Amino acid sequence: MTSPGDAAPVRPPPSFSPGVPRVASKSRYPDQRRDSSPALDADLVESRIGASPPPPLASTTAELPLRSASPHARSLRPSTPQLARSSLGSPIEGRGEVAEDLRSLILRAFSPVVGVYASVDTDELVQQKGFKGGFWDLIRPFGENVPGKLVIRDSVGASRGWDDYGVRFVDLGSSQWASVPGTERVSPLTQVEEVLEKQLNPDGSLLGGTLGAKDLLSFSSTSPLYKMFLRQLLSVATATPHETFRHPVASIIVISSRNTSPLETLRRLYADTSNGDRRLPGWIHPEYLRYYVLVHDEDRDDITESTKLYDQMKRHFGLHCHLLRLRSNQCVVTDDDSVQVPECEWLSPSERLSDQAAPLVDLDTDGLPYLFDSDVTAIKAFVRELVAQSVVPFMENRVSVWNDQVASRRRGFSGRFMSMSRRWAGFGSGSRSSFAGAGGGASGNYDSGHGFYKPGVPEAILRKMADFAFMLRDWKLAASTYELLRSDYANDKAWRYHAGAHEMCAVSTLLGPISGPTKAKLEGIDQMLETACYSYLTRCSDAPNALRCLCLATELLKFRGGSAVESAAKWAMRAMDLGLVGSIGQGLLSERISACYAARNPVTGVKWGSRRRKAGMWSVLAADLWLKLGRPSLASACLEEAERLYADVLDGDGAFPMPEIQAFIDNLRHAVKVEYLETRGLDTQDHTVPADPLETEETSEKLDRRKNRRSLMTNPLDSAGGFNLEQGIRDNDNPANDDFERA
């Protein structure tokens, strides 16, 4: 079998062709890019960015304030104008609070899933409170952040508290369980791009709010737009056989105090989840925790009768029960004890683009749902009790049992011997050999006809155990289990399982407490990511999971710091080269590449080792991309950041020695001003825009055609044998050019 490293370069799958122009390096799979990343030639970056821009427009002085002085010690030329923004964000992000925020975002993306199945009377009670979706709509926002610190024990018995733990409540009757993975009519990545476009549209609203350029760039580091991109990317995954993160760990069976036959209704609802209408697909393990809830109507029912019924529930169904006391009346903003319901953070792209993203209730106020303070307190207490006393202990118990009964045998000498016997001689398959006749692999457990392992076989149990350990944040156990499974999935030719095991093994290793990313560890992680990306794209045509893998690698490697940030930039460039993101994603990833290079600090005690010039170059490329999309505020922010980055490393009079690159920067800055006037509805004829001395007639014509504007990266001087910026990036993608960083 050909190894992924020896195979042909990975091309985007035929089924996914977003049709986005590629603006990064046009090299194919970056085999020759393994040692370094694109950088400007030393001759191009020996001075500060750009010559003096044209004088500020007299009629738009209030809208185009110029920064009076640079924060740096050296004197700089007039900098990029700040286009009507109070605080433009920088693509630079340190390893402080914001880096921890992105890490927490990734951790919360892999939270346990809890199904919800409520009786008809319960949904009617909740709908009277204004929530059209019933009980699931009511409690869904409260599960994303469990109140207080949650203590979790790992496999060795050590305990640690987490402040950012949460669960995902899903409706057991939703269509995600009935749909077959990979049969979506619209690509999830296309939906992510549409959500981002909706966010960028000043006239488009999202969840009752409007997001403009100032809001997008209100943070001092990572922009909310990039966080939205990452959050939406991590929300596209539905339940699939090859990973169990979206399989329910538990389910809530709910009745209300209005029910006339409560115990019989609970038994019927349980039967529906086991072998009835709400039964999950065959590739989901049916043995998950059942939790029983009685909703008491505080406004109309007697608490004494509800308490008696609750005691009967505990005697019949065990201790996994809860009495939730809610008012059935609808709360309005004018009430003294009204509390706004928190916004759902993990809405999928399809939900944000559909009517489900509309306000949950119809009020005469701002359209946001409200609850009584007593209801909010009761729901938060219910969620904490559910997670802390039932869900987490259940997961800890399952991991312990599977580790002792399945994983320990697989790790032992006998398990390795039987694995080798099945691989080379076909021994040890036993009664499971019937699957091999149906197209199974070496172990005989993989059903290639349906494309999954049955829930009871060791390969499926170990994958579920590794996912449970990951959600419990036991990185060491998760990484070792994923590593144990990689060879089994490869032998069975279960390629989607194979790709997922490599991806999560790399992610678990990066999240674990390793003492610095040494070169050997980085090489091992890069090999796992390479294999995962190759299997996702070439063997499975799974573009969403491939992009998720590359983005997780970028963020976690950047968080590690040191030499890992250059590897992070490489994987972000890989996502751009493969065409996995649209036009907005290209701009966001260009900013992240700039942030990766800027996070590389010089070697202690010496003045070389930083990558500030590479960071500045990628910030310029991001500005060009935002300008193509008609977003001058974002382009101006990137130009301003590029100027700051170059000011740290360049000496001289602040002019590029090559007039072509100087013309490119000046034209880009001038185009930002022209685009800003157009977006504000101002006539460029009434507001004189001084001509740039280095701007040609062809460039001016190109800047005035907003709909058909091409990228300024293809400078008109190229046709005359001048400098092509993109070609310069490829020509300077050479390890020898890194020596210029020591200057």
Q: Are 146 and 165 in contact (CB under 8 A)?
A: yes
Q: How many CB atoms lie within 10 A of CB 711?
A: 16
Report the C-alpha gap between 547 and 581 in whole angstroms. Answer: 8
Half-sphere exposure of 671 (CA within 13 A, CB side): 34
Higher pLDDT, 118 or 717: 118
Least confident among 45-49, 164-168, 428-432? 45-49
Strand, coil or helix: 743: coil
Instruction: Give the pLDDT confidence score for residue 607 in this predicted structure.
Output: 59
Mode of pairing for the β-strands spanning 452-453 and 446-447: antiparallel
Report the C-alpha gap between 561 and 545 in whole angstroms. Answer: 25
Instruction: Give the pLDDT confidence score for residue 237 in this predicted structure.
Output: 74
Q: 223: closest CA among 591, 601, 650, 490?
A: 591
Instruction: Give the pLDDT confidence score for residue 605 in this predicted structure.
Output: 55
Over residues 257-305, the pLDDT tens digits come to 999 999 999 999 999 998 888 889 999 998 899 999 999 999 999 999 9
Report the C-alpha gap between 620 and 23 in whole angstroms. Answer: 12
Q: Which two tokens stand for residue 366?
A: 């701002």
The amino acid at 418: M
pLDDT greater than 80 at residue 441: no
Over residues 219-251, the pLDDT tens digits come to 335 778 899 999 999 998 789 999 999 999 999
- pTM recorded for the entire structure: 0.78
Beta-carbon contacts of 551 under 8 Å, excluding residues fewer than 6 positions away, are 230, 233, 572, 575
Higher pLDDT, 287 or 58: 287
pLDDT greater than 50 at residue 344: yes
